[in-house]
Amino acid sequence: MSVRIGAHVDASDAVAQAKEIGAEVVQVFLSDPQAWKITPFAHPGGAEAFRAETAEAGLDVYVHAPYVINVASTNNRIRIPSRKLLQQIMTGAEEIGAKGVVVHGGHVTAKDEPAKGFDNWRKAIDSLETDVPVLIENTAGGDFAMARHLERIEQLWAAVMQANGAENVGVTLDTCHAWAGGIDLATAAADVRAITGRIDLVHANDSRDSAGSGADRHAHFGEGQIPPGLLTGVIADAGAPVVCETHGDMGPDIAWLRERLTS
């Protein structure tokens, strides 16, 4: 099968990094992923130059939204800045020619009804002004997460499908998160697609921890707890572009996966 495979890279020299590790897909941050304030885009030539260079290199580009974003929150001091920041990221993603923006599903608190979090997601999609897809990512931990378990993903999906702009909402399936979150990888792709009808992107990562641990700790392929056959099976079943997110040199990960998906 032919699946485009790549990795998360630094926006400052994405094309050079992609060439070095054999990536056909790149994912970047537009600003500090741990901060609420948008920082200047890291590419020396700005968004326009980045877009031109990645297009010339034939790279598909995705953006990962900052981790601080939690549009599900019932806390106004979190939810409102989250919506504002997400809109800024969506606008920036459009400027660099991104095919989608990955956003974590977020969470509510123990005292909240999960339904409030799902509806806050609907309102967030309603308020966005963008043609770039929002790719909601499943998460690894948290009893009050919006996208950890399949039943929550189903409820979240039902809510966002009621929003204006629902046609611009998609799914990122993270293999480490699914494993740690207690989703059966043998059927994960089929189960998610049965709910959403689509998988737009795969975050392909091994897991340092055991199944159902709730721990979001990525590992290089073959160095974690996920059986290799199970890992390649769910990625093949998803049939979507792949981004590897392990730290350090991801060239071997891309080569490892490409060999197994094309053999």
Q: Can you give the CATH number for the domain in which 97 is found?
A: 3.20.20.150
DSSP-assigned beta bridge partners for residue 203: 174, 243
Query: Domain containing 204: what range?
Result: 5-262
pLDDT in the model for residue 158: 98
Let me know: does 79 contact 117? Beta carbons within 8 Å: no
pLDDT given for residue 247 in this prediction:
81
- What CA–CA distance (Å, rounded) separates 130 from 170? 14
- If one counts the domains in the chain, the total is 1
pLDDT value of residue 17: 97
Q: Using a pLDDT cut of 70, give the percent of the chain over it.
A: 99
Q: Mean of the pLDDT values across residues 170-182?
A: 96
Residues 6 or more apart whose CB falls under 8 angstroms from that of 256 comprise 221, 222
Beta strands in the chain (DSSP E): 5-8, 25-28, 60-64, 101-104, 134-137, 169-174, 201-204, 206-207, 218-219, 242-244
Q: What is the pLDDT averaged over residues 248-262?
A: 93
CA distance 147 to 70: 12
Average pLDDT, the chain: 96
- Collapsed DSSP state (helix, strand, coil) of residue 134: strand
> Which H/E stretch holds residue 248?
none
HSE of 232, CA atoms in CB hemisphere, 13 A: 16
pLDDT digits (tens, 9 = 90+) for 53-95: 999 999 999 999 999 999 999 999 999 999 999 999 999 999 9
Residue 137's pLDDT band, with cuts at 50, 70 and 90, is very high
What is the value of pTM for the model shown? 0.96
Tokens of 93: 């993603």
Between the CA of residue 22 and those of 2, 98, 116, 206, 237, what are the distances in Å? 15, 19, 43, 19, 22
String of b and e for 143-163 (b: at least 16 CB within 10 Å)?
Answer: ebbbbbbbebbebbbebbeeb
State mean pLDDT over 4-32.
Answer: 97
pLDDT band at 103 (very low <50, low <70, confident <90, very high): very high
Q: What is the pLDDT of residue 161?
A: 98
* Residue 7: strand pairing partners: 26, 244
- 201-204 vs 169-174, strand pairing mode: parallel
DSSP state of 69: -
User: Distance between CA 92 and CA 103 in Å, rounded?
Assistant: 14
